[in-house]
Amino acid sequence: MSTIYLETGSCDPFYNLAFEEYVLTHRREGEYLILWQNDNTIVIGQNQNAEAEINRSFVEAHDIRVVRRMTGGGAVYHDLGNLNYSFITDAGNAAELTMEVFTRPVVEALQALELTAEASGRNDILVNGKKVSGTAQRMTGGRILHHGTLLFDSDPDMVAGALHVDPEKFRSKSAKSVRSRICNIRPQLKRDLTLEEFWGYLKTALAKDGFVPGQLSHEELAEVMELKRRKYDTWEWNFGRSPKFDLTNKRRFSGGTLEAGFRVERGSIAEAAFFGDFLSLTSLEPLTQALVGCPFRQEDVRTVLSRFSLAELFGDIREEEILETIFHAGDLG
């Protein structure tokens, strides 16, 4: 089957994420590849606390835009030295779906350029042992979005300066900083390529069975603009998902960081939220709504959790780890 290839025609992060979401939710058949760029932007994961992830003074000094995406994972910095890719296709059997299905073509494309590339950890792609790509996924209506970054020729000082890094995140990786664990692709190439040349190469390499250039209709583009205006342009979506809670506990597990916030009234949960860089596939809202009214007791919360596919909501973070985060304060070392 030929892949339909799309470009957004924009470097505006608010528009690009609206474009991507629209294709996922409205183009219900076929396989899609989108290549796109954001300029001077921090993109945070759907479940992250925005203010905790960004270096606010650096962001304001450098006029960096901040936008929340609809997939899980951690915060990333984008500039015009960074190239983003999105695969959209049928989800098929979700239980058998793995990151490797989507990261393998990217790794092979990099290896074909004589780079020592490999998939690593939960969602990273490495070249010569350093991270060049982080990936995330979202599943809805039987369709799946898998997207990732590719650091081609980005400014490492901007990448490191824009993000607030929790030292706990890197303790087990023996990493000193963001800058020490990332690298650009361009300096590693045997034969130099411009970003435009790399873009053209990747377009054909990721659509091995051939691609068909596509575009959205004027009516569809108008709907993308409306989605941008209604959702991605708003403070409520990008920053307003971090209310104050009576109880806030945080843990780090092999499956990522999980922070639980709860407001409890008369022994029952009045409000609940989960933050972190765990690799969720679907929205947590049905779960957090189901917890409202539940007694704030471990056995009652466990009963609510049992009604949901926790792998889709929390990735590799398990039920016992979720309960531990909710009911036991403090951080793990």
**Look-up of token digits 């009652």:** 300
Helix H, strand E, coil C: the string for 17-32 is HHHHHHHHHHCCCCEE
CATH of domain 3-238: 3.30.930.10
Instruction: Give the integer Cα–Cα distance in Å for 34 and 49.
Output: 27
- The per-residue pLDDT for range 190-235, each reduced to its tens digit, is 999 999 999 999 999 998 778 899 999 999 999 999 999 999 999 9
State both tokens at 326: 């909710």
Tell me the domain boundaries of the chain: 3-238, 247-327
Name the pLDDT band for 121 (thresholds 50, 70, 90): confident
Instruction: Give the integer Cα–Cα distance in Å for 163 and 109.
Output: 29
- CA-based diameter of the chain, in Å? 66
Output the average pLDDT for the chain.
89
Q: Which CATH superfamily is domain 247-327 in?
A: CO dehydrogenase flavoprotein, C-terminal domain (3.30.390.50)
Residue 207: per-residue pLDDT: 84
Angle subtended at Cα 118 by Cα 115 and Cα 190, rounded to the nearest 5 degrees? 5
- The per-residue pLDDT for range 278-301, each reduced to its tens digit, is 999 999 999 999 999 999 999 999
Cα-based distances in Å from 161 to 18, 55, 150, 257, 316: 26, 7, 18, 21, 29
Name the pLDDT band for 100 (thresholds 50, 70, 90): confident
Asked if 3-238 and 247-327 have one fold, the answer is no
Alpha carbons within 13 A on the beta-carbon side of 74: 21
What integer is the mean pLDDT of 116-127? Answer: 90
DSSP-derived 3-state class of residue 252: strand
- The per-residue pLDDT for range 32-89, each reduced to its tens digit, is 999 999 999 999 999 988 878 888 889 999 999 999 999 999 899 999 999 999 999 9
Name the pLDDT band for 305 (thresholds 50, 70, 90): very high
Residue 317: per-residue pLDDT: 95
Name the pLDDT band for 97 (thresholds 50, 70, 90): low
Name the pLDDT band for 329 (thresholds 50, 70, 90): low
